[in-house]
Structure 1
């Protein structure tokens, strides 16, 4: 077993010796500091708070929505968006705890959650890890789809909105350091903004540098049909490296007149990664694999550019027209030399893989909204885009001892064209009852051709009728009920459609080759959502919601033995039913007990179920679904000093899953504890200290393949580490 990694003693001593330096920006911002700020700043704070009180989108919008403000995003000292999202009700993060992963709602993985950037589907090659939390204005979590946004959101949608508002001149810089398993990292972010006449501008950016050391161990066992063990291997794996990133987000607003505004917003990310992966296989029983040791060095450079230009015009009688056009570019260059060894440590194979991929595309959206007549807010619009991917993968192998070699020249391209048209109407029937009607048509066409497969094409389109309603219960100012009925879908991704084959180093049933399936159909779903909301004084709330989804033509990975090798490919396999409940509570203690400490408590809980009719039970739930998840947290602002303390504990269950007739998966529950604190020296200078993944729990995941001749099981043990961060924040 690999020794559990721990933070360096130096930074742990720093954290233990400095509890007075802990605090939270969000809680501190709600109370004026002891030192009276200049009059201009005092007026600005009153304006911001007044705007927030005047309209609560979560409470008053007919379409259900959770809005996470910038204060909440920055409060815990997180460095990635995944860390922020994992605390939200109904949202979980896949992968190893503390390292990010795919974002899931309703416990569903495999792309059922739509991730959007400024209201549009994230461009090809985009990663949430490339966004610094400081660049984000707010996060919108939509449990039920609306016509304005893509209905490729069976589980729901998450919209990341970059900073837009430019109120006054701002100069801000944040300098941070961190320790991750003894590896040092830095993180620097800045914000600049100003206004001159009709022109205002803002630019945010950041520099990130970090090292990592992530060991793991893979335990492989095999048994006969009678249950007698005939195979035992232990593979030690080391994964070390360094990464560097630069991101910029410039924005310019030009006021052309009383009714016309032109806005330019761009996002640039440059990423450099260097890593080494080493596998060492120790065969204790049974046959050794073809290669008992592998050394791989990975050098990857990525450039991502996205730029949008928006024209907004206010028309007569409250109507408004908004037209946006954008371009995006993503280029990745990777070089991966590898050495593979036999069991006697003799060099068997030398491999060099070089690849280059380029994604280019453009998008255009338009929205016309008007109060058609009393009580109706009508909107119509379009959402269109085109993207083209070109990828080359060149593989060269050689051997001085006669090992089998494969030299490959894989060249392919893929085009994706999408178009959506929509109309929606929000109707205020009475002061207590409002309804939302929406209809969206969305079509996608994918074409691809390569030098090692015939041209393929896939076309799909979906009509999505949508209905949501909000009813504020009679006789109460704080109780309301929501109901939603939606038609959503999930189109297959480009990589799932292309029949390229990616070889495994040591092919087996639990480590198969990978290929796509050009015959995949989209998954279609009907959904029903119901929620009860009770609002408390001082920003508190208690909510209970439930949902049901029926998904047709579910896509899952199927492993088969083809020409002596195991191959995994996606297939459509039957119908699934999924359902769940979500509970959430926020309670500021002083809203109920004025003499209580200034503690804000929060908690959420989710329970999900599913079943797939094409897979026999038990445990035939959707692959990667999280059955139970929840978070409990608190923020405490001390009255006697400018200090705020807080933390949150998150839990995700897992357990056994029957993926197909022959495939099984298992994972242990994941627990994560995050602590943070803030000491506010002056109104413009503060120090934030945080510990992420304080429990540093080992992660364990297992994959099993069973047929008539044997059972093969791979279990991966991944130690994790607590990450200690310190961040100095200054405004000028």
Structure 2
């Protein structure tokens, strides 16, 4: 498919001066651098000799190709917020034992089992990576995002060893779709709320499918919780870890059993307490754009102590009903609370361009998060060819926060007291139906309908020196979103060497919010055709090629749409500065649309190894990016700098992802059976409306790399291994007057596993054992000044030990 492919006068001066002032930071970076859904695989169906010779082109393929080339569209009256897609299929229902009517025709037999991770990947038509429990638990990570950072093409934000927002191909902020058991995560929920030992597997899909949803410009990560097994298991894990001078602990219990003779269930409970310390340092320099003279020099330091504890409960019960019919119940409950305390100091050189706002700060904060959700899934095999799947999901969450910040002068006199409290409640439900039909011509058809609704009620109180601020906007916000979607997909095998997939999905989202003096109403609809194919050079080949043509989109979030402003803490009254703007929403945002192409090569080795290469390309229209501008605002009698999201224009993103999983004895007969895992990803992007160089997508690094190995001793019950994760530093041009840079991020982890006996294991872990500072800069230019801020966030080694028991 063919794909489409204003610098101001101060820009040259801005770039030249930026190069000079950045010298110290650049040198530091150079020095630093030297140190379920039980997702049904889209697999080939068994071949029928009666229909193998004469294959007809699927009508859906023809219509989808036509739509992909010229008809894919988005009809928008206003932007939409995120909503949840379909709940996943959890497990195949019992096989239908009805006898076939035709005595010459074999009965349909449905076999269930646990394919290896690589086998599931190999037999899927749409590109898919599966990470199992062993790999998830190997390094004893404290958060799911730390597990994900080792996957091909996945990066995380934040300082080393702390996880952070998860990005596929360096694209975060809504480009990466994160699912929990095939459902979009509820608002307010974070992967940090989920202990890794509650996971069954992680599924990574590089391109969207009609069933999983098309809000996946970069890809989809599906987190699948523990599944109900038909074997009895009773497992207990207890661990502790230490980071710097802060200790944390966790414990979990997993029970697999049966109620009666044929109702399997699993139950998992996790209790955790995490303590951490974060130190920060920053320096702000303002220079005159004409003379280069320093007009402001500030140095800020701070220390924050965080405490967080939580209880996580989830279960899965599968109840067989009649023949070919089952009901699965999946409840999940999360209860957590946390607190923080911080102190800060600000030093300013005499004669600055602005009056020093404060000398010291002290702040305390607290918060709670509670969530309860339940999922019901009913499956019934209507006949040998048809199956119905209905899923009902409902739940709610309650989130509270409270913060108190004091700013003091050099004599410890109170200058400003800010008291902020929020109380947010979310209630949501979804209802999804799916019909699967297997044609004799080896076409596997799936069609579905989805509907969901979410309501948010938030109360907020912000006091400054005891008086409310932003009173014209009100303290309470009520918001709701409704989504409807329908899709159809066809998967078939034209030959033993080719498997193909064609899908078409339409969905519409309506979002409404209201406050005291304003209301927002947005509706958007998107039609997305999708094509995937896999080809093997011959039937028995261990090599295969994949390709995809897709249409995907990114909807504006509720935070981006709501117009209620957030005031700069550094300059809350009067005029503020371009480097410390207020923030506000934009109710007129359109969704981003992306046309995509992928091609991949995979080679599967005889002992379970894999070598693969994947190329991707995305063309994005209506790119959303926050832009800072000087505005006349209602909340101040002076003009203020405000950052608002806007549909900036068009962008492209492309890259290549290389991966190898191999044992050394697959390469050399006499080598030790050391398992090597390595991947390298290189990314590039360009925003058309931003002057270069470095006019990349926001937050996207130039690549990421992982290399790891593990080995099990032959004569001792000990295995050990390590991994190194590297994300190179990069520069970013945000607009003609804004730029930023991020330092290189390196994380090294290691583990030792001692199998005491068949029921007992002890795991020793070292995470981030070569701690490094995490550096970043921000630069902004106004009419007379260049404002440059460099930040340094140190990281620390984390060591831990965990006892794992099978009772």
Q: Using structure 1 for the length normalisation, give the TM-score.
A: 0.91
Report the counterpart of residue 268 of structure 2 in structure 1.
Answer: 204
**What are the superposed Cα offsets for residues 346-404 of structure 1, whole Å, 9 maximum, x if unpaired?**
211223222101111101122111112322111111222110111111122327xxxx9
**What are the superposed Cα offsets for residues 281-335 of structure 1, whole Å, 9 maximum, x if unpaired?**
1002513442333222101011011210111112211321111101121111112
Report the counterpart of residue 413 of structure 2 in structure 1.
Answer: 346
**What are the superposed Cα offsets for residues 6-60 of structure 1, whole Å, 9 maximum, x if unpaired?**
xxxxxxxxxxxxxxxxxxxxxxxxxxxxxxxxxxxxxxxxxx9984259812111
Report the counterpart of residue 108 of structure 1 in structure 2.
Answer: 171
- 1:311 matched to 2:378? The reply is yes
Report the counterpart of residue 16 of structure 2 in structure 1.
Answer: none
Of 334-343 and 553-562, the range deviating more from structure 2: 334-343
Task: Verify the 8 A CA contact 1:658 1:665 in the aligned structure 2.
Answer: yes
Report the counterpart of residue 257 of structure 2 in structure 1.
Answer: 194
The number of equivalent residue pairs is: 681
2-side partners of 1:275 and 1:54: how far apart?
A: 40
Task: Verify the 8 A CA contact 1:598 1:639 in the aligned structure 2.
Answer: no
**What are the superposed Cα offsets for residues 552-608 of structure 1, whole Å, 9 maximum, x if unpaired?**
000111111224322111111010011101100111122333432221001100111
Aligned residue among 95, 104, 124 for 2:158: 95
Q: Kindly state the Cα deviation for residue 511 of structure 1 after the two structures are TM-superposed.
A: 2.3
Gaps of 5+ in 2: 1-23, 25-110, 572-576, 632-637
- 1:659 matched to 2:659? The reply is no
**What are the superposed Cα offsets for residues 106-137 of structure 1, whole Å, 9 maximum, x if unpaired?**
11122200001111211111111111112111
Task: Verify the 8 A CA contact 1:260 1:311 in the aligned structure 2.
Answer: yes
1-side partners of 2:112 and 2:488: how far apart?
A: 33
Report the counterpart of residue 527 of structure 1 in structure 2.
Answer: 596
Q: Kindly state the Cα deviation for residue 455 of structure 1 after the two structures are TM-superposed.
A: 1.0
2-side partners of 1:147 and 1:190: how far apart?
A: 36
Report the counterpart of residue 76 of structure 2 in structure 1.
Answer: none
Report the counterpart of residue 24 of structure 1 in structure 2.
Answer: none
Q: Closer, same or farther in 2 for the Cα pair 1:601/1:339, shift >3 Å?
A: same
Task: Verify the 8 A CA contact 1:81 1:128 in the aligned structure 2.
Answer: yes
Task: Verify the 8 A CA contact 1:597 1:638 in the aligned structure 2.
Answer: no
Aligned residue among 291, 305, 321 for 2:388: 321
Q: Using structure 2 for the length normalisation, give the TM-score.
A: 0.82
Report the counterpart of residue 156 of structure 1 in structure 2.
Answer: 219
Alignment of 1:330-409 (within 5 A): 330-398=397-465, 406=469, 408=471, 409=474
2-side partners of 1:620 and 1:350: how far apart?
A: 40
Report the counterpart of residue 218 of structure 1 in structure 2.
Answer: 282
Alignment of 1:268-287 (within 5 A): 268-285=333-350, 286=352, 287=354
1-side partners of 2:465 and 2:125: how far apart?
A: 64
Report the counterpart of residue 480 of structure 2 in structure 1.
Answer: 415
Report the counterpart of residue 539 of structure 1 in structure 2.
Answer: 608
- 1:701 matched to 2:770? The reply is no
Report the counterpart of residue 234 of structure 1 in structure 2.
Answer: 299
2-side partners of 1:211 and 1:110: how far apart?
A: 27
Q: Kindly state the Cα deviation for residue 468 of structure 1 after the two structures are TM-superposed.
A: 0.4
Q: Closer, same or farther in 2 for the Cα pair 1:444/1:475, shift >3 Å?
A: closer
Report the counterpart of residue 725 of structure 1 in structure 2.
Answer: 800
Aligned residue among 447, 470, 491 for 1:426: 491
Task: Verify the 8 A CA contact 1:397 1:407 in the aligned structure 2.
Answer: no
Gaps of 5+ in 1: 2-47
**What are the superposed Cα offsets for residues 677-704 of structure 1, whole Å, 9 maximum, x if unpaired?**
1000011100001011111110011111
- 1:448 matched to 2:513? The reply is yes
Task: Verify the 8 A CA contact 1:696 1:720 in the aligned structure 2.
Answer: yes
Report the counterpart of residue 203 of structure 2 in structure 1.
Answer: 140
Task: Verify the 8 A CA contact 1:363 1:383 in the aligned structure 2.
Answer: yes
Of 337-346 and 61-70, the range deviating more from structure 2: 337-346
Q: Closer, same or farther in 2 for the Cα pair 1:284/1:423, shift >3 Å?
A: same
Q: Kindly state the Cα deviation for residue 476 of structure 1 after the two structures are TM-superposed.
A: 5.8
Report the counterpart of residue 710 of structure 2 in structure 1.
Answer: 635
- The structure with the greater share of residues assigned to strand is 1
Task: Verify the 8 A CA contact 2:578 2:782 in the aligned structure 1.
Answer: no
Q: Kindly state the Cα deviation for residue 654 of structure 1 after the two structures are TM-superposed.
A: 2.7
2-side partners of 1:484 and 1:307: how far apart?
A: 35
Report the counterpart of residue 38 of structure 1 in structure 2.
Answer: none
**What are the superposed Cα offsets for residues 135-175 of structure 1, whole Å, 9 maximum, x if unpaired?**
11111100011000110000000011111232222111000
Task: Verify the 8 A CA contact 2:461 2:468 in the aligned structure 1.
Answer: no
Q: Closer, same or farther in 2 for the Cα pair 1:546/1:256, shift >3 Å?
A: same
Q: Kindly state the Cα deviation for residue 634 of structure 1 after the two structures are TM-superposed.
A: 0.3
1-side partners of 2:725 and 2:230: how far apart?
A: 36
Report the counterpart of residue 15 of structure 1 in structure 2.
Answer: none
2-side partners of 1:637 and 1:120: how far apart?
A: 37
Report the counterpart of residue 167 of structure 1 in structure 2.
Answer: 230
Of 281-290 and 329-338, the range deviating more from structure 2: 281-290
Task: Verify the 8 A CA contact 2:329 2:374 in the aligned structure 1.
Answer: yes
1-side partners of 2:741 and 2:174: how far apart?
A: 20
Q: Closer, same or farther in 2 for the Cα pair 1:690/1:406, shift >3 Å?
A: same
Report the counterpart of residue 439 of structure 1 in structure 2.
Answer: 504
Alignment of 1:23-172 (within 5 A): 51-52=114-115, 56-172=119-235
Task: Verify the 8 A CA contact 1:396 1:407 in the aligned structure 2.
Answer: no
Secondary structure at the residue paired with 1:539? coil
Task: Verify the 8 A CA contact 1:349 1:398 in the aligned structure 2.
Answer: yes
Secondary structure at the residue paired with 1:537? coil
